[in-house]
Amino acid sequence: MVKERVIWFDPDEWPDAAGVLIHGGTARDAGVEVCFSPAADCETGLARQLAGRGLRLIRPGEAVEIPWYALPRLYVFARDDEGFYATDEPPAMDGAAAVWHVDSENRVTRAADSIAALIRAFLSGKAPGREPDETHRLFASWRAAEAAGELFLRNDTPWKRGKR
C-alpha cells in the first residue's frame, strides 16, 4: 500500500495562496499562530475567574514566544503554568475543535473536546484531561521541520516567491 504524501504548507509565508494542487498528495497547514483574545474578553469576569484557576487567555500586546513549530498548524489562544493551549483551527468559544495542550517539554496532549469543555473543566475545579496525542509533531523551528523532510512550501525554498 502506498502512503499518501502530505505536503506541509505554511500560510504565514504564502498568505495569498488559495490552494495548492499536488498530484498524489494532500496540502496541509503547518506552523503556529498566536490568537490574541479581544481586550474586552480579557477583562470579563469569566476571564478573571479562569485566570484565578490557572487558565490565562493571551491578551493583545502580550509578548508570546512559542518555542516550537507544529505539524499540523496550531492556533495558540491561552496558557497556564505548564504550557500553552491551542486548537487546529482559529479558536471560537462555540467551535467544535479539540483543544491541545503543549507542555514545557513540548509534549502534546488532548486537553478537551472544545474550548467550551475546557472552560467548564477549569470552572468546575477539575484539571483538564491529558490524553496522549499522535496527530501533532513539534519541531524546534521550521528549518528543523524542513531538514526532517517534512516541510516543503515556504518562501525560501528553491521555488522562492516574495511576500507582497
Domain ranges of the chain: 5-17+30-153
Q: Decide the pairing of beta strands 137-139 and 69-71.
A: antiparallel
The rounded distance, in Å, linking the Cα atoms of 10 and 77 is 19
Q: Decide the pairing of beta strands 108-112 and 131-132.
A: antiparallel
DSSP string, 91-142: --TT----EEEEETT--EEEEESSHHHHHHHHHTTPPPP-EE-SS-EEESSH
Could you tell me the mean pLDDT of each successive run of 10 residues in the chain, 164 residues long?
68 60 70 83 80 89 92 94 94 91 95 93 85 91 80 52 37
* pLDDT per position as a tens digit, 41-68: 767 788 888 888 899 999 888 899 999 9
Angle CA 15–66–77, to nearest 5: 75
In terms of Cα–Cα distance, which of 21, 112, 100, 42 is closest to 68? 100
